[in-house]
Amino acid sequence: MFFCSISGEPPQDPVVSQKSGHVYERKLILKYITENGTDPITGEKLEESDLITVKANPKTAPPRPPTATSIPALLQTLQNEWDATMLEVYALKQQNNSLKQELSVSLYTQDAATRVVARLIRERDAAREALASVSATLGVAPAAAANGDVDMEDSEEAISLPEHIIAQIDETHEALSTTRKKRKAPADHVTQEQIKTFTAKHTVPSLHASSPAGITALAISQKNPSQFLTGGNDKVVQLYDRSTDKVLATLKGHTKKINHVAFREHDGHPTLLLSGGADKIAKAWSHDEASGEYIPKGTIRTHKGEITGLVVHPTKTILALTSTDRTYSLHDLTTFDQIYRSAESDEPYTSLAVHPDGTLLAVGTPASTIQIFDVRTGAIAAQLTPPEGVPFTVNTLSFSENGYHLLAPDSLSSVGIWDLRKPKLSHSIKLGDGFKTHKVLYDYSAQLLSVAGSEGVRLFAHKTWEELVRFEEAGEVVDLAFGENGKELWGVSGRDVRIWGLPA
């Protein structure tokens, strides 16, 4: 057994000096030679070349350290190894139990999925048998797809509007487009100079419940301009008469906040109060002469996502809806049956507007684009995409009454005017980095456009784009409506309906 002449420990890499014959640990003697250049024992001059490597048997195990040569030390070492082994075994057991649980959940999920698939197959087979029975009774052979399924989605009958509905739309389009081209604003319609004198006239406070507070939607009656409809975060629709300052009706039935409200006023038909909400449904109420109250007339439950747009078509017999389920639909306002459902889009629909002539329908998306469809065929007539920038949600749209322009947000802090005859973005109005747009709206003359948002209301002149007036005292305004002949502007802020107009 060798011992290092410097450390006194058995060397791991032993070398021997040719001059003195002493054994050293290589790294120790090399460090000493570097610093002193002599043999540490004899003091003679020593260089690295004077060292000879001692080749020991590679199978020889190094001696135990002194701490492991006593019985207590050996017992402590064994105890430490035992503890480490037990901890590792415990960790493996925990991992094994976790894997067993995951496997159990996976097996249960697979079993449930298998049961659902089996039930759907049974229902499909039953539907096929029923269809075959009906077809045999009527003497009509059902058309089957190549895979054996009846492809209702791709069939012409499933996606086309009924012929009588298309005829109504065409008739309305012809009548309205003819008068639109010749139409001028009424003689007593508000002028741009009068708009500049608008001031706060009236406030209807504390509408709807205080918890959760907030009005979310507004609509004004065209037949009786003193009556207006509101929807709120409290899931309630209210009909209010400004002339008497009374709530005429409190309509319940939604289970989540109201997103949109509207009147359907059509000669020869009952007036309908319409609403669409975050609970995926749209509802209709009308006045019952016998009871003197407003009663439910219909509920539309065809969408699987939140209702984000609700507009009465110019025919006054059709209701259009958009939803976050990536579809839009058309419904008969007499029976409330669905008469059309679009194919699923790549993006959810976040807003809706119908062209004044009734043949075009515009929808906004969270991807900054606006899609315009031909109502009669469901085909895309145009897709409007603003200049590249930070993506934003098109949450509001408004066609001008002359049908030539479309007003919509074109960035996070501006609104754009699209010329539908090109089509292209003809102008963009900057609103400021802090302004968040909630509602855009053209007036009846198509010479005024209004914007409501996080910093109040602003009115601009069409073509010159001059800002005519702004109202910031209301704070955040979420919805807007022009009053009769544009001489008033109505907005909702918090639980209040505010009215601006010509000074008294």
Reduced to 3 states, what is the DSSP secondary structure of residue 487?
A: coil
Structure confidence at residue 140 (pLDDT): 47
pLDDT tens digits along 100-156: 989 988 988 898 899 899 889 888 888 877 776 665 545 444 444 434 333 333 333
CA–CA distance, 129 with 145 (Å, rounded to integer): 16
The DSSP element (H or E) to which 322 belongs, if any, is: strand 318-323
Examine residue 224 and state whether it is found in any structural domain, yes or no: yes
Question: Is the peptide bond preceding residue 423 cis, with omega within 30 degrees of 0?
Answer: yes
pLDDT tens digits along 270-329: 999 999 999 999 999 999 989 889 999 999 999 999 999 999 999 999 999 999 999 999
CA–CA distance, 493 with 164 (Å, rounded to integer): 42
Residues 368, 395 contacting (CB under 8 angstroms): no
Structure confidence at residue 58 (pLDDT): 56
Structure confidence at residue 66 (pLDDT): 64
Structure confidence at residue 251 (pLDDT): 96
Q: How many CB atoms lie within 10 A of CB 393?
A: 18
Q: Can you list the residues of the chain whose pLDDT is less than 70?
A: 1, 56-69, 132-159, 181-182
Shared domain for 220 and 321, answered yes or no, is yes
Strands 398-399 and 380-384, sheet pairing: unpaired
Shared domain for 119 and 223, answered yes or no, is no
Shared domain for 424 and 309, answered yes or no, is yes
Shared domain for 449 and 309, answered yes or no, is yes
Residues 435, 415 contacting (CB under 8 angstroms): no
Q: Please state the separation of Cα 412 from the chain's center in Å.
A: 15
Shared domain for 120 and 227, answered yes or no, is no
Q: Is 84 exposed, middle or buried (0-12, 13-18, 19+ CB in 10 A)?
A: exposed
Listed in sequence order, the residues at least 6 apart from 202 whose beta carbon sits closer than 8 Å to its beta carbon are: 242, 498, 499
Shared domain for 322 and 436, answered yes or no, is yes
Shared domain for 376 and 482, answered yes or no, is yes
Examine residue 1 and state whether it is found in any structural domain, yes or no: no
Examine residue 3 and state whether it is found in any structural domain, yes or no: no
Examine residue 7 and state whether it is found in any structural domain, yes or no: no
Shared domain for 118 and 219, answered yes or no, is no
CATH number for the domain harbouring residue 46: 3.30.40.10
Q: Whole-prediction pTM value? A: 0.68
CATH number for the domain harbouring residue 489: 2.130.10.10
Structure confidence at residue 143 (pLDDT): 46
Domain membership of residue 353 as a residue range: 157-501
